[in-house]
């Protein structure tokens, strides 16, 4: 079984989950193709640390917009409404640490093996509810951020 899955246009590879970390965190490598972004969402039970390994990520978090380049990182505390995306024509890669562990569960349950696969949104909603995630809008929606 592969530990890489496509979810909302990005390839996410689970490097460590609850089984390897005693539930303390998940370590995920993300590949975002050009012009992709997550849905507008919030994690109510865990924080997310994004570390950029290649390219450029834009993070819209509550009222803030932050552009991150390789070697930079950003902490998204639990409860923060946010979107992570790649603006432009170059892909980006990064590492995500979510603590405590639960995001990897959503990726493994809802992600697809096909880059063009459509996730089961009823399952995504159920797992999101169980782990405390709230999807607040589709890809393209942004929180109320300052320019």
Token pair listed for 140: 């393209």
Give the whole-angstrom CA distance, residue 2 versus residue 133.
24
Quote the pLDDT of residue 137: 85
Third-level CATH fold of 4-134:
Jelly Rolls (2.60.120)
Residue 2: the pLDDT is 56
Q: Could you give the 3-state DSSP secondary structure of residue 43?
A: strand
What is the band of 146 on the pLDDT scale with cuts at 50, 70, 90?
low
Residue 38: DSSP 8-state: P
C-alpha dihedral over 20, 26, 28, 32, to 10 degrees? 160
Backbone angles phi, psi at 133, to 5 degrees: -95, 145
**Mean pLDDT for all residues in the chain:** 92
Domains of the chain, by residue range, sit at 4-134
Q: What is the pLDDT of residues 108-139, one digit of tens each?
A: 999 999 988 888 889 988 999 999 999 898 77
Judged by average pLDDT, the poorest of 47-56, 57-66, 137-146 is 137-146
């Amino acid at each position: 079984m592969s530990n890489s899955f496509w979810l909302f246009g990005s390839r996410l590879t689970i490097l460590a989950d609850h089984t390897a970390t005693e539930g303390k965190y998940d370590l995920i490598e993300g590949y975002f193709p050009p012009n992709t972004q997550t849905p507008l969402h919030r994690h109510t039970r865990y924080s997310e640390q994004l570390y950029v390994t290649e390219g450029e990520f834009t993070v819209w978090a509550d009222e803030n917009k932050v552009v991150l380049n390789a070697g930079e990182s950003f902490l998204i505390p639990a409860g923060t409404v946010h979107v992570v995306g790649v603006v432009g024509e170059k892909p980006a890669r990064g590492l995500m640490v979510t603590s405590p562990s639960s995001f990897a569960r959503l990726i493994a349950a809802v992600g697809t093996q096909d880059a063009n696969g459509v996730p089961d949104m009823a399952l995504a909603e159920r797992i999101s509810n169980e782990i405390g995630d709230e999807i607040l809008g589709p890809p393209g929606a942004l929180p109320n951020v300052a320019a």
